[in-house]
Chains A and B, each alone.
Chain A
Amino acid sequence: ETGVTQTPRHLVMGMTNKKSLKCEQHLGHNAMYWYKQSAKKPLELMFVYSLEERVENNSVPSRFSPECPNSSHLFLHLHTLQPEDSALYLCASSQGTSSGELFFGEGSRLTVL
């Protein structure tokens, strides 16, 4: 499979659950990103990884925990989320961070009950 793949596509969880979102890119890129897309808000950058090292956090709450084990995989671990965290979470990749061209996945739609 080519491009950026995200799983699961839909996730419903309670506030006490622990779950993870997964992203995989098959483009040979070395930078990966997590974005949050909420209704009525612009896309918000959450985390940036370049060469598997986190370079940006953007003051995201600690209930979101990213993990980048290698340049092709990115996870977003979720625990004790709030209903306001319900959103579409988009993963993206790029060749280095100096290019403005991002390649996005289809997103994981998260609903927190």
Chain B
Amino acid sequence: AQRVTQPEKLLSVFKGAPVELKCNYSYSGSPELFWYVQYSRQRLQLLLRHISRESIKGFTADLNKGETSFHLKKPFAQEEDSAMYYCALSELGGGADGLTFGKGTHLIIQP
């Protein structure tokens, strides 16, 4: 069975400080990893996916198969980054019907 663990329910950092949201997964096959974000009063939306290797809004995430991790990082946090962040996993190429979500981390950026 696949599982996604986000160990931090809440993470609070000051503006300008580095941010790292942790995500660990358990999966026996070839995983595809995603980060979804939900800003206040907005709907849940895709932030980035590991196969794209993109930096979105200054965030990056690298899939580390050895450590089974997909941590989300940003070198300098901004107040508008405050949101709920969800890590998700599916079989590589398996798509949305196999997505498993973590419980989410509430990121608060303090001024």
Contact = CB atoms under 8 A, between A and B. Distances in A.
Interface residues of B, number: 23
Interface stretch (A62-70, A76-84, A98-106): A98-106
Contacts of B100: 42
A40 B99 contact: no
Given A40-B103, A42-B102, A42-B103, A50 B43 contact: no
Given A99-B95, A107-B43, 4 more contacts: A31-B97, A43-B101, A45-B97, A101-B34
A111 interface: no
B46 interface: yes
Contacts, number: 63
B106 interface: no
15 contacts: A4-B43, A31-B97, A33-B96, A42-B4, A42-B86, A42-B102, A43-B101, A48-B97, A97-B96, A98-B95, A99-B95, A100-B34, A102-B44, A104-B45, A107-B43
A105 B103 CA distance: 19
A14 interface: no
Q: Most chain-B Cβ atoms within 10 A of its Cβ — which of A33, A45, A96?
A: A45
B95 A97 contact: yes
Interface of A: 3-4, 31, 33, 40-43, 45, 48, 50, 55-56, 90, 92, 94, 96-107
A40 B32 CA distance: 24
Nearest to A4: B43
Interface string B60-92: 000000000000000000000000001010100
